[in-house]
Amino acid sequence: MRKAWFRRKMPKPIDIHSAWHLYRGIIFHNIWEGLYADENKKIEIPIYDTGAVLVAKYDFIEGD
């Protein structure tokens, strides 16, 4: 219990290598995400004979 308290109250700082990869990923995503209109589209596919509908979202460039 004491060990869990120290982990929660005094977490280890993130190393520079991991911080750089996190920063680079966020910047890359923010720059490229707005360039394409086909992002985060919703697809609904009816499943015949059951009445159910398959719903999905995709986040990629279509027709590239």
* The token pair that represents 16 in the structure block: 């520079």
pTM beyond 0.75: no
40/59 Cα distance (integer angstroms): 5
56 within 8 A of 43, measured Cβ to Cβ: yes
The verdict on residue 3 lying in a domain is: no
Which residue, among 7, 14, 2, 64, has the nearest Cα to 36 in the 3D structure?
A: 64
Count the domains in the chain: 1
The verdict on residue 51 lying in a domain is: yes
The verdict on residue 57 lying in a domain is: yes
Containing structural domain, residue 56: 38-64
The verdict on residue 43 lying in a domain is: yes
51/53 Cα distance (integer angstroms): 7
Summarised one tens digit per residue, pLDDT across range 11-35 is 778 888 888 888 888 888 777 777 7
61 pLDDT tier (thresholds 50, 70, 90): low
